[in-house]
């Protein structure tokens, strides 16, 4: 084996760590049904997250203001399923709270459709 074969990182990509190492081998967390639009925010009583692992502490620092799951994933540069596992852990440990986005209605509102149709007819 050469030194290149033993390298654990790519100079351009930085250190390579498999996502499952960050989550302790877990790949899914459906406990809270988090989706990309779910908002998460750190609880005011969480002044310091010094006893957390770096990934968890970074998320708590990021979430001082409400932030969507997708935004958290973009900031910490991890795949969305991994972010959901980490967020679920923090919610379960009372570091974060969450609020789901309002559900989208499957059936459009009849009054809105009628107003659009009336507007089109006036053109």
Domain ranges of the chain: 27-122
Residue 109's pLDDT is 80
pTM for the complete prediction?
A: 0.66
Q: Give me the residues paired with residue 42 across strands.
A: 96
Average of per-residue pLDDT values in the chain: 80
Nearest CA to 38 out of 110, 107, 91 is that of: 91
Whether the predicted pLDDT of 56 surpasses 70? yes
CATH code at 27-122? 1.10.10.10
What sign does the dihedral 75-81-86-91 (CA atoms) show? positive
Residue 28's pLDDT is 66
Whether the predicted pLDDT of 70 surpasses 60? yes
């Amino acid at each position: 084996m050469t030194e290149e074969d033993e390298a654990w990182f790519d100079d351009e990509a930085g250190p390579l760590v498999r996502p499952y190492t960050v989550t302790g081998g877990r790949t899914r967390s459906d406990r809270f049904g988090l989706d990309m639009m779910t908002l998460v925010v750190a609880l005011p009583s969480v002044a310091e997250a010094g006893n957390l692992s770096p990934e968890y502490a970074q998320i708590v620092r990021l979430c001082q203001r409400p932030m969507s799951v997708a935004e958290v994933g973009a900031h910490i540069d991890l795949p969305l399923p991994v972010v959901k596992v980490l967020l679920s852990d923090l919610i379960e440990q009372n570091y974060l709270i969450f609020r789901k986005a309002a559900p989208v209605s499957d059936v459009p509102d009849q009054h809105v459709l009628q107003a659009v149709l009336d507007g089109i007819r006036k053109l």
